[in-house]
Amino acid sequence: MPDIIRNGVTIDDNFAEAFPMSGTGILITAPNAKWARQAALTMTGFATSVIGCGCEAGIDREVPPEETPDGRPGVRALLFAMSSKDAEKQLVNRLGQCVLTCPGSAVYSTVAGEFEFKVGDAVRQFGDKWQMSKVVDDRRYWRVPVMDGEFFCEGKVGLTKKSVGGGNLLIMGADWDKTMRATEAAVSAIDGVADAIAPFPGGIVRSGSKVGSKYKGMSASTNDAYCPTLRGVTKSELDADIGCVLEIVIDGLTDNAVREAMRAGLHAIIEMGSEQGAKRVGAGNYGGKLGPFHYHLKELLP
């Protein structure tokens, strides 16, 4: 297939294949940005992949005090799962263990979805009958007394089944440092896109997987075609100039959010160029038969 080259970076004529997911999220506020961020970081910890974590979650953006319902600094955290039931279970658990426990926090709905589920209406019982309900503009909120004052939490949050999970970019470079530099630039560009998150550590995954394994009962195993140390001994996708591959996985509340996030990441990599950063960008798919959403890299080019 003909390669496309932009600023020295080879763009594979390939596409990312993504799947429908249930997406939800919360806006967490706190007396200062540090503790709003801490609550969101804790809540979105151990949420890299639905395979082992039950959900994928990350921070969408920091919200300035002028835009939050209580005028305090906030952070918007998004959470995605394979079913709305899983999303609800994960969010309620994480809210109860990670946000309710975090000093100063308050929680508001931030996703305008087709569905709603109980959040404050679930954790309110922590208040042991001292909790108080307030209805403002037809929305219910709970005040739960806690040791640093009150935990304030909206009763229900929105959920959408129109979310998309699995948008991705495979960033390939000569060595670890250059590949990481390009990938970090892509992640920070993706951070600027609303309604999309990159759930892996720092937005980056180095252990991309293929479907299946030589071991029984393992559904996924290392993507040997992209492992540089196996270049000679396996059916490799890598040429001699590639010494490191990193992947960014993207989940978004909408099809368009994932597309825009991939576009932003790709543009950042191309802008950096092959001298400083990556030599080649690809995308992962399963032949196009499994996921209904396809993002062709050539359509995202500048």
Partner 1 sequence: MKPFTFTLRQEPPQRVDLSALTPDRLAGKSVAQIEEIELGVTRISTKVGDLFKVSEGDLKTVRFEGGSSRFDLLGAKLLPGFAIHVEGDVGAQCGRLAKGGRITVAGNAGPHAASGNLGAEMEIKGDVGDFLAGPLAGELAGMAGGRVIVRGRAGERVGDRLRRGIILIEGDAGEDLGARVIAGTILVLGQAKGRVGYLNKRGSIVLARGGCFGSTYVDCGAHDLTFARFFARSLRDHSAPAADLLSRKLRRYGGDTAVYGKGEILTAD
Structure tokens at 109: 């709905």
Buried b (16+ CB within 10 A) or exposed e, 74-109: bbbbbbbbbebebbbebbbebbeebbbebebbbbbb
Name the residue nearer to partner 1 (CB basis): 145 or 192: 145
CA 201, CA 47: separation in Å to the nearest integer? 9
Rounded to the nearest whole angstrom, what is the least distance from the CB of residue 170 to partner 1 in the complex?
44
Q: Which residues bind partner 1 (CB under 8 A)?
A: 29, 69-72, 106, 129-130, 132-138, 141, 143, 149-150, 152
Name the residue nearer to partner 1 (CB basis): 143 or 259: 143
User: Burial of 151 by CB count in 10 Å (0-12 exposed, 13-18 middle, 19+ buried)?
Assistant: buried
Which residue matches tokens 């950096």?
272
Name the residue nearer to partner 1 (CB basis): 123 or 189: 123
CA dihedral sign of residues 267, 272, 273, 278: negative
Name the residue nearer to partner 1 (CB basis): 144 or 248: 144
CA 23, CA 161: separation in Å to the nearest integer? 6
Rounded to the nearest whole angstrom, what is the least distance from the CB of residue 116 to partner 1 in the complex?
19
Rounded to the nearest whole angstrom, what is the least distance from the CB of residue 123 to partner 1 in the complex?
15
Name the residue nearer to partner 1 (CB basis): 45 or 64: 64
